Amino acid sequence: MSDIRPIVRLAARGDGISDDGRFVPLAAVGDSVDFSSNPPRIMPGPHHAAPACAHYPACGGCQMQHMDEAAYRDFVIDRLSRVMPGGLPADVRPIALSPPRSRRRASLKALKRGGKLVLGFHSEGTHALVDIADCPVLSPDLMALLAPLRVLLKARLKDGQGAGIALTQSDAGVDVLLANVSAEGLAAIEALTDFAAAHDLARLSVEGPGGIDTLVERRQPVLAMGGVDVPLPVAPFLQATREGEAALVAAVLEAVGDAAKGSGRVADLFCGLGTFALPLSAKAQVLAVDAAGPAVMALGVAARQAGRRVEVQHRDLFRRPLEGKELTAWQAVVFDPPRAGAEAQAKALAAGPVPVLVAVSCNPNSFGRDAKILVEGGYRITTLWPVAQFRWSSHVELVARFERD
């Protein structure tokens, strides 16, 4: 007896869900599934798409290449609607979706075994490496380095040895950090130095038991933020794509609004390298706070050299959130925490007097928790900007403006 069911929605990780609640990997909304087959057979619907990558779905980097852009955009909005306290606000802006081949940072793994080198990303939920020949997500500059890195690492690694590779595309060129790759001895140093020169790297560093050692810095890696060149520490955190960063910055500036003009004072919490602090500082006085010492230091140096009104503070906001009288000076507060969210800081903000709060989040679930705290404290969400810079991924970002009722 046949058991055919339609896929009616998607789970948070992109699996299809049938009308009777069964999960089906690689199914899109509008597909039908014959559960009488073993395994269940997917009958493609109007939104099913051919994957853009030959490594899909083995590679764990993307979960949603089996659906078209319209279905993906619907997924993003549905994902956000499920975590918003009170549902979506009336003002939801169009989704900012980064294009293919735009990712400017990546962390890969390499393993040499049996004289062969595998270089790529882990398979979903496992430690198995998927050997990547081409990646439709990575920028051309990063993609072009994978083949030369294979040659380099095959020569430098012992059999059974693994290595980590962090690639960052800065405005001055690519910054490479190799983990567990020996730089001891003249031959090793020369091989790595020659590699950096041959491929015009801005910087090449190695990480071992003693920490990080920069072997070659042909140019200081920098990234322009708000018109200011910020020197990058090794393997920095930055937004995954230029397009995604531009969308987030534009949303934050609009959300902050008049508070960032004239004598306005804005606090940027979990500021990182200054993605938002520096654009805001073009018109407002900014307090930038983060626990990441190298990032805060780089931001402070860049701001002073550019004459921007940015005060930096090295502080762990999870243990010591801004609270009480510390919040009275600010017309707006921007907060962009890591995936764990900002529960302690949200509680302090909910009890404070700040008229405008702007949340930037890379995790809808932790955002939903923090937003509920703020709403229960008397705020309401007025505007939402969805951002999908991790194309073909279930990773969804957002900017939300909160105002006091």
Q: Which residues are catalytic?
A: 362
- The CA distance from 232 to 168, in Å, is 10
Amino acid at 219: R
Among 326, 319, 402, 329, smallest CA distance to 360 is for 402
Q: How many residues does the chain have?
A: 405
Note the helical H segments in 257-310.
277-281, 293-306
Cα 316 from Cα 299, distance rounded (Å)? 16
Whole-number Å distance between alpha carbons of 154 and 197: 19
Q: How far apart are CA 334 and CA 269, in angstroms?
A: 6
- Given a contact cutoff of 8 angstroms between Cβ atoms, the answer to whether 286 and 266 are in contact is yes
Q: How far apart are CA 79 and CA 88, in angstroms?
A: 11
The gap from C-alpha 213 to its chain's centroid, in whole angstroms, comes to 25
167 φ, ψ (degrees, to nearest 5): -115, 130
Report the 3 state secondary structure along 39-51: CCEEECCCCECCC
